[in-house]
Structure 1
Amino acid sequence: MTVLEIENVSKKYVLNQKNKSNDDLRDSISRWSRNLFKKEKDNQKEEFWALRDINLEIKQGDRLGLIGANGAGKSTLLKVLSQITEPTTGRVKVKGRMASLLEVGTGFHPELTGRENIFLNGAILGMQKAEINRHFDAIVEFAGISKFLDTPVKRYSSGMYVRLGFAIAAHLEPEILVVDEVLAVGDADFQKKSIGKMRDVSKSGRTLIFVSHNLTAVQGLCNKGAYLKGGELIKTGHIDEVVNEYVKNVSKFNLLQKWEKPELGPGNDFVRIKSISLIPTQNIEQTKFNTTTEFTVSIEYWNLMDTAELNVSIFLYSMIGECVFNLGDDAKHFKKGIVKSVCKIPGDFLNDGSYYISVMIVKDRLAPVYFFEDALAFDIQDYREGTDWYGKWPGAVRPKMITVESKQLEFMD
C-alpha cells in the first residue's frame, strides 16, 4: 500500500526580499522614493527553485534513505512532506500519522518543561492523553532527562533537545517517521540507541524516511534510496544502487598530479614538483579506498640546486581542516636532478571521511623551500563487519583492535 505519494512537487523561494510588513512609515517612504527612480529591470525578483518536479512513491514499510550534498533540497522536501511549508506546484498525499524530527527544538515550547512538551508534542501528533501516558516512562528513559523533566526546555542543551525530540517522535508510534540529520548532534551512545530504535520501527512495518550524510548508517537502515542534486531527483531504487550513484558523482578523488617538464610544475627557482600520487598497495586498479586500504604517497620533484640537504614533509588534513599527522623523511644531500620520497599509510588506520594532503620541501632541516598546498584529495569509505551499529565513529583515526586469546587467570581466596 502506498502511504506517501509525491506528484510533480516544486518549491520556489524569492531571494533578497525584505519583509515589508515590518517596515515603519519612514522605511516605506524611503523604499517608494528609491523605486521611483529605479529601472524596471532593477525591480525584478531573484527566484530560487529548491525543488523541481519531484515524483516519488513510498510504500508501507519502506525504509527510504534520502541522500545528497548540502543544498540538494533534502530538508526542503522533508518540510514539504511534513506540511511545514507548502509546495509551489504539485501535491503530496499522506496516508497515516507522520512524526517528523527535522531540527533541534522543532515543536517545543521553550517556556514549558520537558514533561509538558511531551504531552504537547503528543497532542500535536494526534495522540490521546492515555496513549501518551502509556509511553511516557519509555520516552523519559530513552531521552535520559529524568533529572530535568520539570525544567523548562529553554535550559536544555542541544543534545538534550535532540534526545527528547527523537524519543517523542519514535515512541508515539506514528505510521511514518521522518528523521533528518539532527542525530549528528548526539553522542555515540545516543546515535547507537537511535539507530536501534529506527531499526525496531522499520521491523514493525512502519515507514521510515531517513536523511543523513553517513552513508554507512543509511545503507544499514534503509532498503530504498533517493538521490537529490540541485533540487532534482537524480535516482531512486535499491539503496546500494543509489549510494553508488551518489558516491560516483561527488567523489573528491584526485589521486595523481604530474608535470612533464620542470618549467610546468609548481614550485620556484629551487625546486619544482614533478608528480605526486596515491597508490594502493594491492596490485589492482582501485578508485575507491576504505578503512582497510593500505596505500602509499609518492612525491617526485626536481632539485634545481647544484647541491642541497633536502627532505620532504607531508601534512594530512581531515575534511574540517584538522591536521591528522605531519611527518618527514630523513634529510639527505642531493645533487641537481629528480628526488623521490615515499610514505606508506597502513590499512586499518584512518577513519572514514574526506582528506587532503599538502607537501613541504625543506632545506637544511629547518628552512621551507616550497609548500604545495592541497596537492591531493581523497575519500575513505567506511568498512565494518561483525557489528550492528552503523553510527559515525568519532576521531580521524580508527586503528583495528585485535583480541588476543589468553589463558584465564585463576584467583585464589
Structure 2
Amino acid sequence: MSQNEALITCENVSKKFCKDLKQSLWYGVKDITNEVLTIRKDGTKLRPGEFWSLRNVSFEVRRGEMLGLVGQNGAGKSTLLKLLCGLIKPDTGKITMKGQVQALIELGAGFNPILTGRENVYINAAVLGIPREKIDEAIPHIIEFSGLKDFMDMPVNKYSSGMKSRLGFSIIAQLDPDIILIDEVLAVGDMAFQEKCMRRMDSLRKSDKAIIFVTHSLYQVEALCNKALWIDKGNVIQYGEASEVVRAYLDDQERRSMEESRKEGVKYQGRTTEMTKAYLKSRDEQRESEGLETLNKNKDLIAIENVEIVNAEGKPDTEFPFRSDLTVRIHYYTQARIETPLFNMRIFSKRWGGFTEAGMLIDGSGPDSVEGSGIVECCFASPPITPGDYSITLFIRSKDGIANLFNMRTVAWFRITDENIEKISLKGPMALNHIRQGSPIYLNRTWKFYRDGQLTDMIEATLQ
C-alpha cells in the first residue's frame, strides 16, 4: 500500500437537478426505467427545467492530505460530498474511492433516532465492516471524546444538534476509516469541542487518512488543509494550495461586497469580516465600540486587561505624527499556565479595511509559557502609515496556531496626523488630498521613462 496513494479521485464529475418537483419525479422514473433496460442516456445535456449543480469537477486527495471545500451557500459543496459517499450518482464523470469511507454530512444522518447513542455506534461501525470486538474496544474512547457519558443510553431523537454533532464526529475519530468526509455540521458544536475536533482532524491528516472538509471558517481551511477547492454555482473556480485559494476567494467576496454596497447605496465598510473568516472562527462577538470591556474568562483562556498605544517617549497617546515611532502595549492575564501563546494583531482603516499584520504566526514565538499578569509590546519603528484614523484588532493562538486563546476583536484606536507630512515629496497637483484619502501605506518609489531604450526622465518619490 503506497503512502502517497490517491484514495479519492474525481474526474470531470457533473450532477444536474430539476427545479420542478413533479417534473423531477417524472425524470427519475424515466432514468430508472432506462437503467433497468440498459438504455444509455446522454447525461451531458440538460432537459427542460434542469440545472447543473456541479459541472466538470476534478481533483484528487492522497493519503495524509486534507482538502477544504469553499464557496458560498448553494455552490454545490454538499452535493459533491453526497456524490463522494454514494448517496447520489453523478450524471457524467467518474469517482474512485479506495478504502473505508465515513461521512458526517448532515446532523442525524446515519443515526436511527429511536435507538440509543450506544446502539447507533455499533450500527455505524458494523456498516464499516468493523468486528464487534474492535467496537467494544473503541466504545470507551468514543464516549470519552464525545463527553456524552451520561447520555449514551438515551434515544438519539432526544439529543440536541450539538450532541448529535459530538457523537457523529467521535465515531469518525475513533473508528479509523480510510476516508473521512465532513460537512459544516461542526459549526453547531460549542467552542471547546470544535477546537478538540480541529486538533483531532489535524492528527488524522498527519496519519494516512484522506479527508475532505467543508466549512465557512476559512482560517480552519488555511490552518489544516493541504489543498482547497473553490466552487461557485457548480463550477470549479480554483483548485490548489489552500492559502492561495483562500486568498483568491476572499478577494472575490470583497468585490461582491463592494458591488452589493454600491447597489444598496451604502458605504462599503471594507473586508474586516472576510479577513476575520480567513484566519479565525467567526464568533459574532464583536465588542461595543466604546472601548475594551473586561473579558469573559470562560470564553478566552487569556484575558486582555488593557491595550495602550505609546509614543517614542513611552507615554500612552491616541495621536501620532506621520512617521513617528509607536508601540502597542498589551496587558494580559491568565489564570493558568499557557504554553507559547502567539500574539497577533492587524491594523485596519475605515476606507481600506485590514492592510497590515504583525504577528507571531509570522515572526515566531516568544516565551515558552506565560502565567498570571504580564505585558507584551510590539514596536513599530517609523511606520509609513499615512494620515487618517485606524484601529487595531488582536487575536491570540495556541503554539500550534490552531486553537484560539483570545478571539479576534478591536482593542485600540489611533490617529496619524499631518505633522511631518512634509517628509513626503508632495509635488503632484492633488498630492495632499490623495495622501489623506488614498492608500494607508506610503512606499518609496522611483518612476522611470524610456525612449528608444534610453532613460529620458526619472521621478524619485522617497521619504526624507
Q: TM above 0.5, one fold?
A: yes
Deviations 1:268-289 (A, max 9, x none): xxxxx9xx68799xxxxx9x96
Determine the C-alpha separation between the residues in 1 that align with 2:185 and 2:270.
36
Please say if residues 179 and 209 of structure 2, whose CA atoms lie closer than 8 Å, have aligned partners that are also in contact: yes
After superposition, where does 1:163-182 map in structure 2 within 5 Å? 163-182=166-185
Q: CA deviation at 1:233?
A: 1.1
What residue number does 2:400 align with?
388
Determine the C-alpha separation between the residues in 1 that align with 2:10 and 2:83.
10
What residue number does 1:338 align with?
none
CA pair 393-49 structure 1, distance change in 2 beyond 3 A: farther
1:9 aligned counterpart, secondary structure:
strand
What residue number does 1:15 align with?
19
The one-letter code of the counterpart of 2:93 is G
Q: CA deviation at 1:181?
A: 0.9
What residue number does 2:59 align with?
56
Determine the C-alpha separation between the residues in 1 that align with 2:405 and 2:49.
42
After superposition, where does 1:119-268 map in structure 2 within 5 Å? 119-251=122-254, 254=258
More RCO (CA 8 Å, sep 6+): 1
Deviations 1:231-274 (A, max 9, x none): 1111111111111111111115649x99xxxxxxx8xxxxxx9x
Please say if residues 398 and 405 of structure 2, whose CA atoms lie closer than 8 Å, have aligned partners that are also in contact: no
Determine the C-alpha separation between the residues in 2 that align with 1:250 and 1:279.
11
Determine the C-alpha separation between the residues in 1 that align with 2:206 and 2:404.
22
Determine the C-alpha separation between the residues in 2 that align with 1:18 and 1:96.
38
The one-letter code of the counterpart of 1:100 is A
Q: CA deviation at 1:123?
A: 1.0
After superposition, where does 1:287-306 map in structure 2 within 5 Å? none
For the aligned residues, what is the CA RMSD?
Answer: 4.3
1:18 aligned counterpart, secondary structure:
helix
- Output the TM-score relative to the length of structure 1: 0.61
**Would you say 1:83 and 2:86 are equivalent positions?**
yes
Q: CA deviation at 1:164?
A: 0.2
CA pair 229-130 structure 1, distance change in 2 beyond 3 A: same
Determine the C-alpha separation between the residues in 1 that align with 2:165 and 2:81.
17
Deviations 1:41-95 (A, max 9, x none): xxx8411211001111222211111111111111100010011111111121111
2:22 aligned counterpart, secondary structure:
coil
Q: CA deviation at 1:175?
A: 0.7
The one-letter code of the counterpart of 2:171 is I
Please say if residues 17 and 24 of structure 2, whose CA atoms lie closer than 8 Å, have aligned partners that are also in contact: no
Please say if residues 8 and 210 of structure 2, whose CA atoms lie closer than 8 Å, have aligned partners that are also in contact: no
CA pair 207-15 structure 1, distance change in 2 beyond 3 A: same
Q: CA deviation at 1:393?
A: 8.3
Determine the C-alpha separation between the residues in 2 that align with 1:102 and 1:393.
28
2:55 aligned counterpart, secondary structure:
strand
- Output the TM-score relative to the length of structure 2: 0.55
CA pair 59-156 structure 1, distance change in 2 beyond 3 A: same
Determine the C-alpha separation between the residues in 1 that align with 2:173 and 2:393.
29
What residue number does 1:69 align with?
72
Please say if residues 10 and 96 of structure 2, whose CA atoms lie closer than 8 Å, have aligned partners that are also in contact: yes
1:219 aligned counterpart, secondary structure:
helix
Report the number of matched residues. Answer: 293
- Uncovered stretches (5+) of structure 1, i.e. residues with no partner: 23-43, 259-265, 267-272, 281-285, 292-317, 328-342, 358-379, 401-413
Q: Quick one: percent identity of the two aligned structures? A: 38
The one-letter code of the counterpart of 2:225 is C
What residue number does 1:2 align with?
6
Please say if residues 4 and 93 of structure 1, whose CA atoms lie closer than 8 Å, have aligned partners that are also in contact: yes
Determine the C-alpha separation between the residues in 2 that align with 1:213 and 1:104.
17
CA pair 2-14 structure 1, distance change in 2 beyond 3 A: same
What residue number does 2:100 align with?
97
Determine the C-alpha separation between the residues in 1 that align with 2:406 and 2:109.
26
Deviations 1:134-174 (A, max 9, x none): 21100011111111111111001111100000000121001
Q: CA deviation at 1:396?
A: 8.0
Please say if residues 106 and 183 of structure 2, whose CA atoms lie closer than 8 Å, have aligned partners that are also in contact: yes
CA pair 159-386 structure 1, distance change in 2 beyond 3 A: closer
Q: CA deviation at 1:388?
A: 3.1
Determine the C-alpha separation between the residues in 1 that align with 2:138 and 2:198.
19
Q: CA deviation at 1:290?
A: 6.1
The one-letter code of the counterpart of 1:84 is L
Please say if residues 214 and 392 of structure 1, whose CA atoms lie closer than 8 Å, have aligned partners that are also in contact: no
- Uncovered stretches (5+) of structure 2, i.e. residues with no partner: 27-46, 291-318, 321-327, 331-344, 352-391, 413-464
CA pair 381-251 structure 1, distance change in 2 beyond 3 A: farther
Determine the C-alpha separation between the residues in 2 that align with 1:88 and 1:381.
47
Please say if residues 188 and 391 of structure 1, whose CA atoms lie closer than 8 Å, have aligned partners that are also in contact: no
1:72 aligned counterpart, secondary structure:
coil
